Each structure stands twice: as C-alpha cells, then as structure tokens.
Structure 1
Amino acid sequence: MTEQYHRWHSPNLNLDLEMLVFGDRGFPVILFPTTKGRYHQNKDFGLIESVKWFVDEGLVKIYCPDTIDDRSWYDKGIHPADRARNYAWYDKMLVDELAPWAMHETGVGKVAVAGCSFGGYHAANFAFKHPEMVAHLFTMGGAFDIKMFTDGFYNDDIFYNNPADFLPGSNKPDLWNMNIILGTSEHDMCKDYNIRMSNILTEKNINHWLDIRPFADHDWPIWKEMFPHYLSTIK
C-alpha cells in the first residue's frame, strides 16, 4: 500500500496543514480523524489497514488531512463566534483546496467523505453543504448537531455548519443522488444523533442506510468492521 506525506500552506486558513495519502489511483475518499486527532490517527488506529485491499486493488485513494478542532469547536478560549468563523474557513479550505486536489489527482468528478466520531461530523457537514462535490458519505459513530459546542451562542456561521439545522431546508438536487450511510451501534453514545439525522433524511425522501450494529460500542473495533463494508458500496 503506497503512502505519501504532504504538507502545504493553506491560504484559506493561513496555516500549514499535513496529510497522508494512501494509494495511487481509484475513487478519492477524504477521511477525517476523530476529536482533535491528527492526520496520522486513522493509520495509527488501524482504520487504513482495515481497507488495505481496496487501496491495493486501486479502487480507492484515501486522503487523511488534519483538522483544526483545537482552533474551532473545541477551543474554549475563544468566543463561539470565532470558533464558528474558523471552522467556516476550514470548510472553505476543503472546497477550494483539498477536494479539487483529490478530484484532479484521481480524475473523478466527485469525492467520497468519511469519518469516525467527530470525523463523522466533518464528513457529514461537508457532504450536506456541498453535495455537488460529494458522491458518497460514510459516517461511523458520528454526531451532527454542533450547538453543544457554542455555549448558547448562535449565528449564520453556526447555522451553516450545523447539518441538523441547515439540512431540513436544503433543496440542492445532488442530495438525492448521494450514497449515504450513517453507521452507529447499539451502545454508541451517538446513536440518537444518527437516528435523528436519519429522520431528517427520511422526511426529505433522501435515500440512505441507517446501519445500527448490535452489541458494539463507540470505538475503533466496530468502525474497522464498518469502513470496508461501506467502501464496497462505491460504484
């Protein structure tokens, strides 16, 4: 399995970001880390190894970028408006820099996005905001309501980065063409968030799969079972 390290200066964030890329061809998959995780976390915890066959066969090329959790939603030292503004810039980085990079390298017109736990939030927010860029969304133990991080403050940056709020009113046509899988488990602390998101999608007649696995916790072992299963649905 080929592995490449990239470091670049993001003009949208005015920060240097790091990323690992696995594979040399295939459908581009942007895979986000969990809470405050770095770009190498999904490799360190075995999630990349769980899908080695897909990478080796040239079916997918996986991009594992840094996030800015400690400068956005998890930064309790700044005002919630600043947390939300910083995250809006991160979203712009994904739109202007990373997703076009992945599409250009692979020659594919859309990306897949995926993530476990808080990485599932990153993936869902990007997919539901920008469905014209996303063909597949895979979340594993994700939560989709960011208001728990905003201390009661609310503005447009929060609304437009909170899928539980903006998705009900969105009518972007590509939402109905996306392959959406919400993975959770019987003992997942985020199960209720997945059920609520499934209800929103159902109310909009958006086809999706709410995958609730039995006897499993909010942890890496079940996510390593889910991820290869979900990648197998990429056509």
Structure 2
Amino acid sequence: MQEDYRTWYSHHLGRDIEMSVYGNWGYPVVLFPTSMGNYYEYRNFGFTETARWFVESGKVKLYCIGSIDKDSLYAKHLHPGTRIWNHVLYDKFLHEELVPGIQRECNVQKIGVGGASFGGYHALNFAFRHPEQVGHLFTMGAAFNIRSFLGGYYDDNVYYNNPPDFMPGAQNDEFHRMNIVLGTSAYDFCKGSNYQMSDILNRKGIRHQLDVSPWGDHDWPVWKDQFPRYLSMI
C-alpha cells in the first residue's frame, strides 16, 4: 500500500504538521491520532492495514495527521486559557489551511474525518464546527466532553469546542447531509459519552448510527474491526 510522508507548514500554528498519506486517489478521509499521538500511530498499530482494499482500489485516500495535544488540551504546564487557545489555532489550521488543500487535491466539496479515542473527539468537534466541509464522520471509542482537561476554566473557546455544550443549540442544514457513525463497544469506558451524543443528535433529528460492538473494550482490536465497516459506507 503506497504511503507518502508529507509536512504541511501551518501559518496559524507556526510549525510543520507531519502526516502520512495513503493512496493516489479516492475519497479523502482525515484520521486524527489518539491522545498525544503522532502521524504514524495508525500504521504502527496495524489500523491502516485494515483499509488496504479501499486504498488500493482507489475508493479512499487516507490522510493520517499529527496533533498538537501536548501543547493544547494535555499541556498541564500551561494556563487553561492558553491550552484552549492553542486548540483553536489547530482548528484554524484544519479549517483554513489543510482541509481546503485536500479539497483541491481530491476535487471534492467535502471530506471524511475519523479517529479513535481522543482522535474521535477531534474528528467530531471539527465536523460539527464545520459541517460544510465534512460529508462523513466516523468515531471509535471516543469521548466528547473536554471540560475535565481544563480544571474548571470556561470561556467561549471552551464552549465552542465542547460538542455536548454547543451542539444542542447549533443550527446548520449540513448536519442532516452528513453520514455520522458513533462507534463504541460493550466494555468501552467511553460508551456513555456516545449514548449522550446520540441522544443530543436524536433530539435534533440528526440521522446517525450508534454502533455498539457486542465485545471488546477501549482498545485497538475493536477499532480495527469497525474502521473498514465504516469505510464501506462511503
């Protein structure tokens, strides 16, 4: 399976973001890593291998990107206001720099986003903040409330990056055109967060699938089983 290493210099972040890109063509799907993960994490855990058929047949093009978690929500050495602001800058990098570049490269109006664990938070937060850019959203073993990272600190940046807070009042027709899958498992400690998000979406009449695997916990075997099933929905 073809893998290309790339860097993208972000003017918002003032740094390079590393990524691995799989495939030459196909519908683009951006994968966010787990907590403080890097761009090669999905390869190392055999996750990208589960998408081999989709990539080699030209159905899907995967963009596995790095995060800045160590300088944002996980940066306990920084003031909470600085942590969330750094996260906002990461969102600006995605919204204004990376995703438009992928849209041009793949000649698509919308992309897919996904991720396991904290990568699922990144995917869902981006999709629900910018639904005009996202056609498919897949989360696996994710939780979506970031308040616990900030020690009681709260401002508008926290509100607009905390989906359980902003989604109940959010209005956008593009929510109803998005293919949304919330994946979890029977013994996943994040299962309750997925039921909560599903309830929010149900109350808003937003179609989605809550996929609860009947086995497994918060770990890679579950996510590797779920991911190719989700890709088949594109």
The AA in structure 1 aligned to 2:162 is N
- AA of the residue aligned to 1:152: G
Aligned residues: 234
Matches within 5 A, 1:159-178: 159-178=159-178
TM-score (norm 1): 0.98
Q: What is aligned with 2:211?
A: 211
Give the distance between the partners of 2:57 and 2:8, measured in 1 at CA.
28
The percentage of aligned residue pairs carrying the same residue is 52
- Please name the residue that 1:69 is paired with: 69
Task: Give the counterpart letter for 2:87 in structure 1.
Answer: Y
Give the drift of 1:102.
Answer: 1.3
Question: What is the CA–CA distance in structure 1 between the aligned matches of 2:4 and 2:100, rounded to whole Å?
Answer: 18
Structure 1 runs (4+) deviating above 6 angstroms are: none
Which residue is equivalent to 2:147? 147
Letter in 2 for 1:84: I
The whole-number CA distance in structure 2 between the counterparts of 1:8 and 1:192 is 36
What is the aligned partner in structure 2 of residue 93 from structure 1? 93
- Per-residue CA deviation, residues 183-219 of structure 1 (Å, 9 max, x unaligned), is 0000001000000000000000000000011121110
Once residues 52 and 97 of structure 1 are traced to their aligned partners in structure 2, the CA distance between those partners, rounded to angstroms, is 27
In the other structure, the counterpart of 1:4 is 4
Deviation at 1:8, TM superposition (A): 2.7
1:16 maps onto 2:16 in alignment: yes
Supply the distance in 2 between the matched residues of 1:91 and 1:40 (Cα, whole angstroms): 20
Q: How far apart in 1 are the matches of 2:119 and 2:46?
A: 15
* Shift of residue 87, structure 1, vs aligned partner: 0.2
CA positional deviation for 1:105: 1.1
For the residues of structure 2 that align with 1:148 and 1:24, how far apart are their CA atoms?
40
Q: Secondary structure at the match of 2:88?
A: helix
Q: Distance in 1 between matches of 2:106 and 2:8?
A: 19
Within 1, Cα distance between the matches of 2:26 and 2:40? 20
Distance in 2, matches of 1:8 and 1:171, equals: 32
Q: Distance in 2 between matches of 1:36 and 1:55?
A: 26
Could you tell me which amino acid in structure 2 is paired with residue 110 of structure 1? K
Q: TM-score if structure 2 supplies the norm length?
A: 0.99
| SS, match of residue 136 in structure 2 | strand
Q: How does 1:1-235 map to 2 (within 5 A)?
A: 1-234=1-234
* 3-state secondary structure, aligned to 1:6: strand
Unpaired runs of 5+ residues, structure 1, are: none
CA-based RMSD of the aligned residues comes to 0.6
Q: Distance in 2 between matches of 1:43 and 1:97?
A: 24
Q: What CA distance in whole angstroms lies between the structure 1 residues aligned with 2:68 and 2:230?
A: 26
